[in-house]
A and B are shown apart, each in its own frame.
With several copies, the nearest count.
Chain A
């Protein structure tokens, strides 16, 4: 068992698709009046397009691509701040590859690197730590980016740095949390969603209960899902079944990886190192209360915001999203990427206007790359 290919079985998929079709018919979903299911997580968006699931499911099932891509929701001003830090003399700025092409107000990190900043891609915060050990005369900054899945890794790296007394390591913390933007979406009166696919790897850390409010307070089904194609189809099936049966519960399709209560070590590390910010800015969504994390005063020495006086510790720049950009509407499911006036015109993967076109997790990029748009345009 490799816990991956087994969940790509075409035969199982066929059965799931048939079951989904039956359920969709049963609840009267049609192309004109579809059941709208938001996959919150960009990883799920990616899988849906990679395996062409949107084309395979019953036409009454509509996938709405949610805001769960940390790169897509990164405001341009934060990219500018990354560049500001990266361009300081002596700094080695480290980041996951994902953030390299995200446009800031003037440049991306890739372009800042080309212009001379020492910006390096790493696979892990541990690699940034190692860089700091090997370059004691340099200041190594790690760009902490991601939802609850990634947050423990930077927390553990900061704890390790503290243990070693590594004075030249710091994290530019931009970690964000999933439940708050979902609540914001649900509070939007324009919103019409019938159910959710929950991000499996977030729940691997935080468990399934943080989503209880969705079922309890908003009466929407949510199924925490894995990332293989049958995982996703099974989760769709489970959402439809809840709807068909008039239930609204938090279910766990991904039990092989997601413990009900999450991971205790990860949660403890997050709690030790981070605290909630009062509010945090999301690209396309604006400020959302309590949706971001910052480094606690006890670990201030490792906080790049404090060290360099940028971000929430500096003068914050308000930068409106670029004109004509519909990222917010797309991320909240009010618009399909192809409906954005910029899609394929002012905004292409070569020259992205919005972040959704940059990250291969972004709905617009996925539409583009996997041909959703152009195939549709034919």
Chain B
């Protein structure tokens, strides 16, 4: 439930009504940024936010995203190493 997608804030369109332009792969839509406007609105420019029904609901934490990806990467490496070891074992077994 609750389709949300990441979009980048590219312009403030109506500061008074907390409206900004979000860009999703080249598709633009004006969104309300009330939920993510803590500091000056200009700080939002360039930031990625999770967009849902025309509202920017949450700023995306790039550090956390990187951490998740790193964990996936590490897991991949580990699995690969394991796989290579397994292959090595199999080869050894085969040779045996």
Interface residues of A, Cβ cutoff 8 Å to B: 1-4, 6-7, 9, 11-12, 14-16, 18-19, 41-43, 68-70, 96, 123-127, 146-147, 149-150, 152-153, 156, 160, 199, 201-202, 204-205, 227, 230, 234, 253, 255-259, 263, 265-266, 269, 361
Contacts and interface: CB of A to CB of B under 8 A. Distances in A.
A199 B2 CA distance: 9
Interface residues of B, number: 40
A201 B57 contact: yes
B94 to A, nearest CB: 22
A106 B17 CA distance: 41
A361 B65 CA distance: 26
Interface in B4-51: 4-6, 17, 25, 29, 32, 34-37, 48, 50
Interface string B46-63: 001010111101101110
A109 to B, nearest CB: 18
B68 interface: yes
B68 A255 contact: yes
Contacts of B1: 41-43, 68-70, 146-147, 149, 199, 201-202, 361
B76 A11 contact: yes
A3 B66 CA distance: 10
B52 A150 contact: yes
6 contacts: A3-B48, A9-B72, A153-B32, A153-B54, A201-B2, A259-B58
A256 B6 CA distance: 11
B64 interface: yes
A9 B50 CA distance: 20
A266 B36 CA distance: 9
Contacts of B82: 18
B69 interface: yes
Contacts of B37: 265
Contacts of A156: 32, 34-35, 55
Nearest to B51: A124
Nearest to A252: B64
Contact of B4 (A68, A96, A204, A256): A204
Contacts of A230: 72
Question: 4 closest Cβ contacts across the A-B interface?
Answer: A124-B54, A149-B2, A256-B65, A3-B6
Contacts of A69: 1
A12 B55 contact: no
Contact of B54 (A15, A123, A255): A123
Contacts of B54: 123-127, 153
Given A123-B54, A257-B4, 4 more contacts: A14-B76, A15-B75, A126-B32, A263-B36
